[in-house]
Structure 1
Amino acid sequence: MTQLKQRIISPAVNEPPADLWSNCLRVGDLAYVSGMTSRGADRETVLGADEYEQAKVVFQKIKDMVEAAGGVMNDVVKMTIFVTRIEHNTEVWRARKEFFSGHFPACTLVQVASLAKPEILLEIEAIAHIGCSAA
């Protein structure tokens, strides 16, 4: 049985300009969330001055996308986190604890030289298996 690819849109997360990428795609019970940053609604302003504040903005965007796909945050099974300052990774973990409980997702953390704007300190992508958690 072929499962169709469905574009997921959340009113809480700005959609990219047409024909660039999708913020979230769902295929069957899997939702793929593109790398999220802490850019604001104007796509210029970066929300949060440090890794903790930016991570909270990003995790909220991921939560909004997963919920728009029909899931809950604990349905996230895999994340890839890109940071520009690996020595501040504990601030990302601190924010993560505010959004997950129980079994935390499998995760990869990678330091990169830079992201889309110099003030963007991290970007996170996620995969969720919708319905896999109790809550």
Structure 2
Amino acid sequence: MKTTKLTTIALVLVAAISLSSCNQKTKTETTVEKSEPTETVVVDETPDYFLLRPEVEKAYGYSHAVKIGNDIKISGAVSMDDEGNPTAVGDIEQQMKNCYADLEKVLAHYGCTFDDVVVENVFTTNMPKFLEVAAFRAEIYKNHFPTGSWLGVKELALPEFMIEIEMEVYKK
């Protein structure tokens, strides 16, 4: 009986500590030590949400990007027009170029370029066709390639979509 009570108390304490850590301030201070004086840098960690196509994103229930501090998570871009209709149907190379064009808009919103991308994940319904056109990425990533994965999937959100590209960015 005592063991059960102690276990219950321990679980309640862990839950309370976990919950209280979620309610901490949204800014963190980092002390950067230099030769003489100490410099305090305040990093704003309040989430900043960005909608590239607000009506489409609200209808599907997602934000195209979220920036917290120096980290930016970018939802998968697909080849669509401003109303959410698929574009370049059947043409994976043009769909890929359309994805990168949208991703470039999101990066520019945050003052970033493809050089700031640290993770890129590509999802495609046709890996052999993607591999035929993947060299285009060298035009996007001129200095270095990010980490990431290329994944062959059965389907994406709409059957016309052949490729989806998501990113993570670190901006100093």
* Maintained 8 Å contact 1:38/1:47: yes
Report how far residue 89 of structure 1 moved: 2.3
SS of corresponding position for 2:61: coil
Question: What amino acid does structure 2 have at the position aligned with 1:8?
Answer: F
Identity of aligned residues (%): 23
Q: How many residues align?
A: 128
| RMSD (Å) for aligned C-alpha atoms | 1.8
**Higher share in helix:** 2
Pick one of 37, 41, 48 that aligns with 1:6: 48
* Maintained 8 Å contact 2:117/2:167: yes
CA distance in 2 between partners of 1:7 and 1:92 (Å): 32
Comparing 65-74 and 85-94, the one that deviates more: 85-94
Structure 2 unaligned segments of length 5 or more: list them. 1-27, 29-43
Q: 2:11: which partner in 1?
A: none
Tell me the alpha carbon deviations over residues 32-68 of structure 1, each in whole angstroms, 9 at most, x when there is no partner.
Answer: 1001100111212323532211110001111110110
CA distance in 2 between partners of 1:53 and 1:19 (Å): 23
Runs (4+) off by over 4 Å? none
Question: What amino acid does structure 2 have at the position aligned with 1:6?
Answer: D
SS of corresponding position for 1:82: strand
CA distance in 2 between partners of 1:23 and 1:8 (Å): 6
Report how far residue 18 of structure 1 moved: 5.7
After superposition, the Cα gap between the structure-2 partners of 1:60 and 1:19, relative to the gap in structure 1 and judged at 3 Å, is closer
Task: Write out aligned runs for 1:34-49 (5 A).
Answer: 34-47=75-88, 49=90
Larger radius of gyration: 2
RCO higher in structure (CA 8 A, sep ≥6)? 1
After superposition, the Cα gap between the structure-2 partners of 1:48 and 1:100, relative to the gap in structure 1 and judged at 3 Å, is farther
TM-score normalised over the length of structure 2: 0.68
CA distance in 1 between partners of 2:158 and 2:59 (Å): 21
Pick one of 95, 100, 105 that aligns with 1:64: 105
Report how far residue 80 of structure 1 moved: 0.9
Question: What amino acid does structure 1 have at the position aligned with 2:77?
Answer: M
